[in-house]
Structure 1
């Protein structure tokens, strides 16, 4: 007697809409219809991994789980983390030529300058910031510079803390920097210096959750590149306002080349420097 065939797990149109709305409320990330295959594939993967019978049983468990561990598994699967060292380096040029010096002029000698990189992805951006400052900002010894870096994906945060990178990831680095700040592990991998890992404070954060962003205050420069393109208009405004609240008056925000704060929020002023256009929290906030 032949065993009954196992019915494949499918995601209906109604299932997709239910999940899309739930995921949006939890993360601020909106999936367009053209992401349907991407979402369905990862949902089926988690349904099978958890031993759920179908989408309905999985979704009920997901919604009512107390610790949020399965939601975090989904977040890690659903977020895209494509990056490399010195990506869009013109903004790092702007950082060391203009933004840092302007921020420093408002500080006392030896004062603290705080830079926040969100999302951290696997660490290439915050470590690029650290290398740029060490190599190209002449006043690095005169101030206490803190680099904070956050992401909603716990897997990439763990990868960032490990600091092991592929040849492709480091391909834009000058050879001198690669030899100075990395150790070659094998033909395909490089490990960043432990001192650089320890110079960045990594943390989990969801920009759509106000309770998680409140701990970020007195930030001088924020790099938030290629994240808001995954949000809808409302979530973008929420994120923009969270960053505005986190910034010290006169602080700067750098967005990705295809993103524009002017279309999201009127809170910021546009600043055009030689290398990049960035967005600034008005100094009037402090009464200066």
Structure 2
């Protein structure tokens, strides 16, 4: 058996093969410093799929003979840990600064045509888009009169299934106020709570790779996009492609939220940085053509 099956780690050539393959399929590139992280997860993939060698597993992966291998690889090599109301100053910005501007640009809350569309990508197991829904339900004064669509998308089909089920433990829920937990969740045993059916059914979830330009063309006319803490995993080329795809998914004048350690200014000039009281967001220019 080769190194990946015996637990001694990938050989250098094996690591290079899987790194290049994963980059081509997802746009995510692992640095040499992530070698141990990749080793352990590839070992799991090889064993879980019933292969004795990395070579046999990788051969089946590349040829597509076992369709489930790629989804499992993506699930293992993408980081999906999150929790409700993470970096909540950005949700403050959404309610206090961004949505008032969106409504004003689209004719005001009484004259707006069509829904306000919000996208969370990557949404992982759903904590971010459900956080947006909770903040709107609890704190946005126009929630009863303005139609809002919240969409979540992720490259990992497994976490999307968890988002659809929407059952969370105490770690994910630690920042949810107790009254909100009582109003919008039901206990399902063993310290877990499931978000109410009405909220779950209102959320649209789809699988997509943000670097896949063809697939991203189906995302259009979003007023607000949250794309937090994913661009840091891309190289320059993949980051620019992702930025262009997000740009295409947004209305002129729409707003983009990135993670606190990310900056669009280092990626692409197509967005305009906009300083709000709560921090920086990035705006698709209002005069931009579709």
TM-score interval (norm. to shorter): over 0.9
Give CA-to-partner distance per residue, 1:74-118, whole Å, 9 cap, x none. 001111111111100000001011111111122243531110001
1:265 to 257, 263, 268: 268
Inter-CA distance 44–267: structure 2 relative to 1 (3 Å threshold)? same
Question: Does 1:94 find its partner at 2:93?
Answer: yes
Please report the RMSD computed on the Cα atoms of aligned residues, expressed in angstroms: 1.7
Query: How far apart are the structure 2 equivalents of 1:206 and 1:66?
Result: 22
Contact 1:110 1:144 in 2 (8 A): no
Give CA-to-partner distance per residue, 1:17-70, whole Å, 9 cap, x none. 011011000001111111111111111222222232312222111111167421
Inter-CA distance 41–187: structure 2 relative to 1 (3 Å threshold)? closer
Question: Does 1:136 find its partner at 2:139?
Answer: yes
Question: Does 1:244 find its partner at 2:247?
Answer: yes
Instruction: Give the superposition deviation at 1:187.
Output: 5.1
1:223 to 197, 211, 226: 226
Structure 2 SS opposite 1:237: helix
TM-score of the two chains, using structure 1 as the length reference: 0.93
Instruction: Give the superposition deviation at 1:229.
Output: 1.2
Unaligned runs of 5+ in 2: none
Query: How far apart are the structure 1 equivalents of 2:189 and 2:225?
Result: 34
Contact 2:156 2:207 in 1 (8 A): yes
Query: How far apart are the structure 2 equivalents of 1:278 and 1:224?
Result: 11
Report the counterpart of residue 253 of structure 1 in structure 2.
256
TM-score of the two chains, using structure 2 as the length reference: 0.93
Map 1:78-93 onto structure 2 (within 5 A).
78-93=77-92
Instruction: Give the superposition deviation at 1:141.
Output: 2.3
Question: Does 1:169 find its partner at 2:172?
Answer: yes
Query: How far apart are the structure 1 equivalents of 2:181 and 2:247?
Result: 35
Report the counterpart of residue 197 of structure 1 in structure 2.
200
Map 1:273-284 onto structure 2 (within 5 A).
273-284=276-287
Contact 1:26 1:208 in 2 (8 A): no
Inter-CA distance 112–67: structure 2 relative to 1 (3 Å threshold)? farther
Task: Give the total of aligned pairs.
Answer: 282
Report the counterpart of residue 3 of structure 1 in structure 2.
none
Query: How far apart are the structure 1 equivalents of 2:261 and 2:205?
Result: 26
Structure 2 SS opposite 1:85: coil
Inter-CA distance 183–51: structure 2 relative to 1 (3 Å threshold)? closer
Inter-CA distance 243–141: structure 2 relative to 1 (3 Å threshold)? same
